[in-house]
Structure 1
Amino acid sequence: MRAFATIAAAGQDRTLQMKKIGMIGGLSWVSTAEYYKRINEMTQAQAGGVASARIVLESVNRQEYVDAVIERGDEGAACAQIGRSARALQAAGADFIVITCNDVHRFVPELQPGLDIGFLHIAEVTAQAIKARGLRKVAILGVRKTMESDFYPEILARSGLEAIIPDEEEKRLIHDSIYEELVNNRFRDQTRREYQRIIADMGRRGADCVAFACTEIPLLLAPQDSPLPAFSTTELHCRAAVARALA
């Protein structure tokens, strides 16, 4: 009984030392589930015992977000939705915020001044990992908002990296496959082969690596199956979140 109490006390000490991760999820639930799984797997591996992460989850309604962004083209409404979730996480005692979706990070500069806690930015984490590998020209694969927004090129450029964007037909295929298949938990071999073809073509156009800049893409195509060195933004973001929580 005394041994069990000692183990329990040690586990409690590790838990009390962890920072609380505020997670904005639901965009989609598919990638959010992967975040929860990987963050807890990494936390247990690093903290030991049966440790699990301290997470408070604000799971937004993806349909509300899609209605604003796609149906109405109302960026302000979409940003306000994410802002409400960020403030809820702050009120719940989160120490920092992780958004389980790449394209939503375009709202971070607007939202950050109104918060007392910071975001762990997915593009910054990705840029650091790519730079550490000595690579420079990054193919960006994600939804249209991610591929056409400035936040990835600008953040990569701060690390001396260059963003390579798919052509129009490639963007259409990637975006449509994410919205119609991946966020609905559908992963088809044909779609996987199309991604491999696009990545290989972008390599011939100068890219020396690829960022899976949509958190569902690594569930379709494993980095080791990519024609170019590939960086899973989901994995990198989870790893960075655990490192910050346990720091």
Structure 2
Amino acid sequence: MMKTIGIIGGMGPMATVDLMKKVILATDAREDQEHIPMLVDNNTNIPDRTAAILGKGESPVPELMKSANRLAAQGADFLIMGCNTAHYFLPLMMPYLKVPVINMIEETAKFCAEQGYRKVGLLASAGTCHAGIYQRALERVGVTVVQPAGAQEDAVHRMIYDGVKAGNPDLDTTDVRKALADMAADGCEAFVLGCTEVPVAVSIYHLEGNFIDATEVLAERAVAAAGARVLSHLPSRTSVSH
């Protein structure tokens, strides 16, 4: 019997659908009954995580806990969150969670280390960048992190908020492309898509690079934890130089 996945969603709604889709695509199934049962709480009342981290908005923890409790009460065996920035608040939630949670940030850092990457670029919201959650997780496994600064950081943030969240397919992403080129020139071997909207942005704006989709990493770890067969779509390195 497979376990039931509980998804704390609504951060944002399109990113929640993207996570659910990636769980389905990562499941090696040939019929309905081989797929994983999922419960989704699309809680759009959760306050903006970046605003809270930057001291400009209310804490999302109460609403995050409401979602977690609803999902546990409905039968979720473990929880996942598609929002990278929300993981900053996970330590405040952990003592009160009724079921386990898979930490997307830690799992993505492990994946980078498993692939043998020494230096990666980070594409994420301003909240995630300033919170340092990816930097700490990656440094713990020996991976150096580079992230856009100044106008380029603002451009990535705009792509997330004014682009994907706003449903704007015509956003100018010139500065984002320049950020990718600059990080590659600085020796980054891959780019961590460290915001749930960024993989969506890569598709919408046709960005190019060796991308590590944190949402996909999370989806594959969740499929394995649920007890299903994993059909991996993640990049792999056949030879790694140390």
Whether the aligned pair in 2 keeps the contact of 1:137 and 1:164 (CA below 8 Å) is: yes
Match of 1:200 among 181, 185, 190: 181
Corresponding residue to 1:242 among 211, 218, 223: 223
Q: 1:36 aligns with which of 20, 44, 47?
A: 20
Distance 1:162 1:140, change over 3 A: same
Paired with 2:207 and 2:154, the residues of 1 have a C-alpha distance of 22
Q: State the SS of the aligned residue for 1:94.
A: coil
Name the CA distance, whole Å, in 2 between partners of 1:150 and 1:218: 20
* Cα distance change of structure 1 residues 67 and 238 upon mapping to structure 2, 3 Å threshold: closer
| Separation (CA, whole Å) in 1 of partners of 2:165 and 2:98 | 31
CA positional deviation for 1:58 = 1.1
RMSD over equivalenced CA pairs, Å? 2.3
Query: Match for residue 27 of structure 1?
Result: 11
The partner residue of 2:193 within 191, 212, 235 is: 212
- Structure 1 position 115, deviation (Å): 1.4
User: Which residue of 70, 75, 82 maps to 1:100?
Assistant: 82
The 1:189–1:67 alpha-carbon spacing in structure 2 relative to 1, beyond 3 Å, is: closer
2:66 pairs with one of 64, 80, 84? 84
Percent pairwise identity:
27
Q: Which has the higher contact order (CA 8 A, sep 6+)?
A: 2
Question: Contact 2:163/2:171 (CA < 8 Å) preserved in 1?
Answer: no
Which whole-Å deviations, capped at 9, do the CAs of 1:146-180 have from their partners, x for residues lacking one? Answer: 11112111111221112212112111111122111
Please give the secondary structure, in 2, of the residue aligned with 1:108. helix
Query: Paired residue for 1:136, among 115, 118, 121?
Result: 118
Unaligned runs of 5+ residues in structure 2 are: 229-242
**In structure 2, do the counterparts of structure 1 residues 24 and 198 end up closer, same or farther at CA, with 3 Å as the change threshold?**
same
Aligned length: 224
State the TM-score, normalizing by the size of structure 2. Answer: 0.84
Q: Is the Cα–Cα contact under 8 Å of residues 123 and 156 in structure 2 kept in the other structure? A: yes
- Identify, as 1 or 2, the structure richer in helix: 1
Corresponding position of 2:133 = 151
Deviation at 1:67, TM superposition (A): 9.2
Q: Deviations over 1:185-215 (max 9, x none)?
A: 3334742x54332111112233222101011
Contact kept, 8 Å, 2:119 with 2:190, in 1: the verdict is yes
TM-score by length of 1: 0.82
Write the letter of the residue equivalent to 1:88: R
1:224-245 alpha-carbon deviations (Å, 9 max, x no partner):
9534x22011211111111111
Aligned residue for 1:153, secondary structure, equals helix
- Structure 1 stretches lacking a partner, 5+ long: 1-16
Distance in 2, Cα, partners of 1:153 & 1:28: 23
Q: Is 1:123 aligned to residue 127 of structure 2? A: no
Structure having the higher Rg: 1
Question: What amino acid is the match of 1:26?
Answer: G
Aligned partners of 2:50, 2:222: CA distance in 1, in Å? 29
